[in-house]
A and B are shown apart, each in its own frame.
Chain A
Amino acid sequence: MKKRILSLVLAATMAVGTLAGCGASAKGDQESEKGSGPVSLTVWHDGDEAIMKVIEDTANKELEADQISLKFEKKTGLTDQLKLYGSDEQNGPDMYLYAHDSLGTFAEMDILAPVTDFIAKEDEKDLIPMTVDACTYKGTQYQLPLYFESLLFMYNKDLWQGDVPDKTDDLLAYMEKHTDVQAGTYALLNQHSTAYNVAPIINGYGAEIISKDGKAGLDSEVYKEALAYNQKFAALQGDGDYNTIAQLFNEGKAQAIIGGPWLVSGIKDAGINLGIRSLSSFTLPNGKKLAPYSGVQGIGILKYAEDGKKEAIGKALKALMKPELGQELAKQSNCAPANNKSYEDQEVAANEMIMAIKETAETAQPMPNIPQMSVMWGPAEEMLAAVNKNGTAIDEAAKTFQQKAETAIKDMQ
């Protein structure tokens, strides 16, 4: 009898236990929402934790007097996390820090509040206009830009012979002279079949992967011209895989590489005598400058957080856009700040890489932030791989992948 009762109790406990996690939980960190008292704001991110620590510490120092604190939490796969929790006030964050290119997706989901609900437009007068444009979708600014990234020309000063040319044609001639693919030694390496890395040429030719109104542009004549020009470089750049080119450069088998600031720590660890040039300083055969994409890291605010925390969020945003925060980001994490005034600091102005990124901001184009872009990377990169690696004719590839891109865009609806 005892055994029977025990087994019944165990079965009941297990049944209840299985459902225990299904209940809604109150948000633990909402110490105070309305009125006085300390306010804790949760910020989700998917970035480098060291960079987030700099932002968190610097902003919290500034906000201490107002009893407001920011709490950064890393969430891998942030886009998917926000799709799940972006409308869930109990479990979702108050704000998020992420690259601007997902902005259109979140805005269409109607989970974001405009930044201008919290701060005045004139508060942003010191921000680099390109970064503000990047954070704007359909005329509304949904993110506050903090720092930005773009591709750079990085070269090994000990290996590069002579001056770095200003014209891409001269660069190509240098590559032809100093590359031996069979021996595995290269003049310049790039991820020649990755759309982000070929964007400097595509944009420089005036072509577009996708237009602002969401039309795929893979079969336009200028796009095909840009790909034909990139193909000449690709033939001298080996496999073009990210890990391969980074390793070749770090091993001294490549004299130069097109890459982002994220490569710098590895390059320095490898003991490379690094020189940096902005891609905006290279001129294409059509007389235009190379125009890479820029990725802007900005803070977005979830719509539900507006209710009750508006004042605290407004103060937090003002603290986040202070030039001092940008300076700390530049000094401690090698990030290029979105605030123009941050560059007035001597130490920041002396940082070769940061100043090269700032220079690039003159010609850089923000990555498109419309939702359709998320389905364009696939066809655009497949087209590059087909042309550069598989030997497919550009016209044939343009036809195939334009059609694929159009279908993908249509499937979104």
Chain B
Amino acid sequence: MNQNKRSKQWFYLTPSMILIGAIVIFPILYTGYISLTNMSLYHWKDFKVIGLANYGRALFKLDEGFLSALATTLLWTVVNMVLQIVAAFFIALGLNAPGMKLTRLYKTLLMVPWAMPSYVSILIWRVGIYNTDFGLLNKFRAALGLSRISYLAENVPAFLSCLVLNLWMAFPFMIMMFDAAMQSVDRSLLESASLDGAGFFMKVRYVLVPAIRPIMLPPIIMTAFTTFKQFDIFYLLTMQKGALTGSTLQTIITYAQQNAFVSNNYGLSSAVSMMIFVLICLFSLYSNRNIGREDEIG
């Protein structure tokens, strides 16, 4: 490629590079810079570089509370992903069953949770389903003569309540992905398997799953990331300012928010952010390496 052509390519890329630089690269670099300073409320205009001291303090925050939050986050991610994948797979399978009627209607209805803003969905669930006075669950209990209970006051019921809500909100995407992947599978493969005497589970295991795996890996990894860094559901359901429920559930993101981001100490908050950023980068690199391997095997 001659020099002139190469320069032109870079020139054409300039607008996007400026945009990416301004909205992606610059904030990361600036956060990195702030993490090395003592910028806080008390050093608003006269902050200075203090080296890695904030990282030392941020590491100190990786205490028992952080480890417990990490364990909750991992449990939350694993349980959510297993339930989402299994349930969405079978629902999509049902939607693609030969002779199934009104599939478009079902698909549209299944998309409803996705169409709603998450903030609205969470508050509707909080008041409409889990609330002790107005919630549907307690209305049922009251109708059965049972006492009212607070579903969000203790950790295990609160975790399960968050889980159910997250599944409700996340199913549409996963179902849509499985549905699209299944529609891309050549029907003749399944018919051939039937002619060879394969039953339902054999066809699923040896034909359908291998065929959709390369298509499903990216959305599954993407969803795993979203689930891992879930903040809205925990925060709005159990720890919204002025409406705390009593549960002490924490994920690493809520833990970081509560322990570093309310302090107006921007140096320390930035150091925590950079550490989470590195953690997610490592997670991403690891996942991408696995995708690469899958592609090679495929």
Contact = CB atoms under 8 A, between A and B. Distances in A.
Nearest to B266: A83
B258 A389 contact: no
Contacts of A18: 15, 18-19, 22
Given A18-B18, A241-B131, A412-B263, A390 B242 contact: no
Contact residues of A: prevailing secondary structure: helix
A263 interface: no
Interface stretch (B36-44, B168-176, B185-193, B204-212): B36-44
Interface string A232-266: 00000011011110011000010000000000000
Interface in B251-291: 258-260, 262-265, 268
Interface stretch (A7-15, A130-138, A271-279): A7-15
B165 interface: no
A388 B264 contact: no
Contact of A194 (B15, B45, B242, B259): B242
B52 to A, nearest CB: 17
Contacts of A110: 44-45
Nearest to B45: A110
Given A19-B18, A181-B148, A239-B133, A11 B12 contact: yes
B132 interface: yes
Interface string B25-46: 0000000000000001110110
B11 A8 contact: yes
B247 interface: yes
Interface of A: 7-8, 11-12, 14-15, 17-19, 87, 105, 108-111, 181-182, 184, 191, 193-194, 196, 238-239, 241-244, 247-248, 253, 371, 374-375, 377-378, 381-382, 384-386, 388-390, 407-408, 411-413
Contact of A412 (B18, B42, B147): B42
Interface residues of B, number: 41
B246 interface: yes
Contact of B244 (A184, A371, A375, A382): A382
A244 B131 contact: yes
Contacts of B132: 238-239, 244
Contact of B246 (A194, A385, A407): A385
A371 to B, nearest CB: 6
- Among A182, A253, A390, max chain B CB count under 10 A is at A390
B294 interface: no
- Interface residue SS majority, chain B: loop
Given A19-B18, A184-B133, A385-B245, A378 B262 contact: yes
Interface string B197-223: 000000000000000000000000000
Contact of A411 (B15, B243, B246, B265): B265
B263 A411 contact: yes
Contacts of A248: 133
A390 B40 contact: no
A81 to B, nearest CB: 15
A335 B15 CA distance: 52
B45 A15 contact: no
A14 B12 CA distance: 10
Nearest to A410: B263
A76 to B, nearest CB: 15
B244 A381 contact: yes
B133 A389 contact: no
A244 B133 contact: yes
B150 A239 contact: yes
Interface string B135-172: 00000001000011010011000000000000000000
